[in-house]
Amino acid sequence: MKNHLKEIETWLELQPNISTLYISYNQTLQDPEPDLNRINQFLGGNLDTKPMLKVVDRNLYRERRSG
C-alpha cells in the first residue's frame, strides 16, 4: 500500500497540470480550522469556511485506540 501511494505521489509531482494539497484526516478532526483555511486558499479563497467548521464530526473517526 505504501509503495503504491509513493508511486502516485511521484506521478502527481510530474504532472504540470495537476496541483495537489495534502491534508491529514486525523489532524483535521483534531483542529479543522487550519486545514479548512488551507483548502480554501487552495481552491481560490472564496469558500465560506464557517459552515464547514460546523460539520466536522470527530465521532466519524472509526480507528480510535482506547487506553
Q: What is the pLDDT of residue 1?
A: 80
Q: Is 42 part of any domain? A: yes
Determine contact, residues 24/35, Cβ cutoff 8 Å. Answer: yes
Q: What is the pLDDT of residue 63?
A: 58
pLDDT, tens digit, 9 for 90 and up, residues 5-62:
999 999 999 999 999 999 998 899 889 999 999 999 999 999 999 999 999 887 876 6
What domain range includes position 54? 22-59
Determine contact, residues 51/38, Cβ cutoff 8 Å. Answer: no
Separation between Cα atoms, residue 36 and residue 10, nearest integer Å: 25
Q: Is 10 part of any domain? A: no
16 alpha-carbon distance from chain centroid: 21
pLDDT at 64 over 80: no
Q: Is 52 part of any domain? A: yes
pTM: 0.75
Q: Is 31 part of any domain? A: yes
pLDDT at 67 over 50: no
